[in-house]
């Protein structure tokens, strides 16, 4: 055995040891170090002294669970949800809300440390903007359907398992989404409508998706099924309409694939409208089943307000709303822009965006089906170049081709609204030679969870700006 091997610390499964928790990790777990090895402990909080038991050993890190809390954090509180530890949908209910806001800013900092070469001491990373009431804020639930003791249930799968947790009331969901989902399960059980084919061992109804308009009170239900034919489907639709008059749209989506993606490609209207309406401030939005819309309408106003501040529009700018969905951010910026162009690859979202622009009397916004990386270079060739680009990508971040397009088209301001600090960090690091990070503003869109949204303002580095001016001349 050489000297290096003798100095290595071997950690065994079920080994117990004391640990001081240093910070909250990106998934909401406590982070500590044992003999210089990183240890992740769900449920532990910064500053706590705990005794842990090892549950998994990986080459580069260890997972453990709390056996005993020797010194508790003053910010530790009792989680009010009865299935909090089983469900895994929330990770921070046991941390007082101000502590959550502080932890989320730190999660952003950790991502920047890990994925960028930026000097963090020189970055303006602002305090997290929180909620006055951090409960009952989600406008959409996606509850998986299963069976338990011969009856249908709906809920979420326990973290890292295939056990479905029956959830009657989720306290981060709008009460109407809970009411509607619970009543649909009651209808299914009342009429013994099968959700699972015992003979062929396959799912029939996979997911119940419920979305509510906070301001309008309208509800849409999407039944996600493995095939078009569903036993007693007409009866189910009839009873939903009878018992739940607030449901104005009942839709079926067909997704035969075994995948983590909720929706398939085919959507069928079963009863009522194709979409529901929602209002944010003076704007009205049409929301069809597959259209993206922020899950926390109360914080969305704050988030888009921060995006508008970052865009700093004067009335003369041409703006691109990339990954535009139903046009929410672009419409929010419209009164300060000379022209808005938005694009998305989902046609239904673009159809909704056009309706939303018309309803809001925004006549200088145009929407296109397609990707920004295809459309923006084409517009540049035609002589149209945006002054500001705003993007709100999915969790995987911006496509590399899109970032290359930003480098090519060179908008003066790039406003990046991110729901994933890791991909945000990687993307802004990729742009660092062309764009300066002016500031990062975290916004808490998902209280009680470890998720954090961030509005980042990037400005074109002056050397490149001079090239554009020269090119225009």
Report the catalytic residues: 419
Copy the structure tokens of residue 137: 């804020």
Burial 300-330 (b: 16+ CB within 10 A, else e): bebbbebbbebbebeeebbbbbbbbbbbbbb
In whole angstroms, give the CA distance from residue 248 to residue 270.
11
| Residue of 435, 397, 418 whose CA lies nearest to 104 | 418
In whole angstroms, give the CA distance from residue 139 to residue 213.
7
| Residue of 55, 14, 19 whose CA lies nearest to 37 | 19
Contact indicator for 154, 166 with CB cutoff of 8 Å: yes
Looking at residue 265, the DSSP 8-state letter turns out to be: S
Task: Give Cα separations from 129 to 103, 179, 207, 447 (angstroms).
Answer: 12, 30, 33, 11
Sorted by sequence, the CB contacts under 8 Å of residue 310 that are 6+ apart come out as: 413, 415, 438, 441, 455, 456, 457
User: At residue 375, what are phi and psi to the nearest 5 degrees?
Assistant: -80, -40
Looking at residue 318, the DSSP 8-state letter turns out to be: E
Could you tell me which residues are beta bridge partners of residue 143? 208
User: At residue 74, what are phi and psi to the nearest 5 degrees?
Assistant: -65, -15
Contact indicator for 367, 392 with CB cutoff of 8 Å: no
* Residue listed under structure tokens 């950690």: 11
Looking at residue 412, the DSSP 8-state letter turns out to be: S
As a residue count, the chain comes to 473
Looking at residue 260, the DSSP 8-state letter turns out to be: S
Copy the structure tokens of residue 293: 């819309």
In whole angstroms, give the CA distance from residue 369 to residue 412.
24
In whole angstroms, give the CA distance from residue 254 to residue 266.
5
């Amino acid at each position: 055995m050489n000297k290096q091997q003798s100095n290595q610390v071997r950690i065994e499964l079920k080994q117990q040891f004391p640990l001081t928790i240093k910070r909250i990790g990106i998934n909401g777990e406590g982070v500590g170090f044992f003999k210089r090895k990183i240890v992740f402990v769900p449920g532990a909080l910064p500053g706590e002294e705990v005794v842990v038991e090892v549950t998994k050993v990986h080459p580069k890190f260890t997972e453990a669970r709390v056996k005993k809390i020797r010194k508790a954090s003053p910010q530790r509180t009792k989680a009010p949800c009865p299935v909090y530890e089983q469900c895994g949908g929330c990770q921070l209910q046991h941390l007082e809300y101000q502590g959550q806001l502080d932890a989320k800013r730190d999660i952003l900092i950790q991502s920047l440390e890990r994925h960028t070469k930026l000097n963090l001491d020189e970055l303006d990373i602002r305090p997290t903007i929180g909620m006055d009431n951090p409960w009952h804020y989600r406008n959409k639930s996606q509850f998986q359907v299963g069976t338990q003791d011969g009856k249908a249930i709906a809920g979420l799968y326990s973290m890292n398992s295939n056990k479905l947790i029956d959830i009657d009331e989720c306290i981060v969901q709008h009460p109407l989404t809970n009411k509607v989902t619970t009543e649909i399960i009651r209808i299914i059980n009342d009429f013994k409508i099968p959700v699972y084919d015992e003979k062929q061992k396959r799912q029939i109804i996979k997911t119940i998706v419920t979305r509510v308009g906070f301001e309008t009170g309208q509800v849409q239900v999407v039944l996600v099924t493995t095939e078009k034919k569903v036993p007693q489907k007409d009866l189910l639709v009839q009873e939903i309409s009878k018992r739940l008059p607030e449901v104005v749209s009942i839709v079926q989506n067909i997704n035969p694939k075994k995948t983590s993606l909720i929706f398939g490609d085919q959507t069928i209207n079963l009863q009522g409208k194709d979409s529901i309406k929602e209002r944010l401030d003076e704007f009205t939005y049409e929301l069809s089943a597959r259209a993206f819309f922020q899950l926390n309408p109360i914080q969305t106003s704050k988030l888009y307000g921060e995006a508008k501040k970052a865009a700093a529009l004067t009335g003369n700018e041409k703006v691109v709303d990339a990954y535009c969905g139903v046009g929410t951010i672009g419409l929010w910026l419209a009164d300060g822009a000379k022209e808005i162009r938005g694009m998305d690859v989902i046609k239904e979202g673009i159809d909704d965006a056009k309706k939303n622009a018309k309803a809001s009397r925004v006549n200088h916004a145009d929407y296109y089906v397609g990707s920004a990386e295809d459309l923006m270079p084409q517009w540049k060739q035609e002589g149209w170049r945006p002054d500001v680009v705003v993007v709100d990508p999915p969790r995987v971040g911006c496509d590399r081709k899109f970032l290359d397009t930003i480098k090519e088209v060179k908008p003066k301001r790039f406003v990046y609204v991110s729901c994933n600090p890791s991909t945000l960090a990687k993307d802004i690091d990729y742009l660092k030679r062309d764009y300066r990070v002016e500031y990062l503003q975290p916004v808490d869109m998902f209280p009680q969870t470890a998720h954090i949204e961030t509005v980042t303002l990037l400005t074109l580095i002056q050397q490149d700006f001079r090239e554009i001016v020269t090119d225009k001349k």
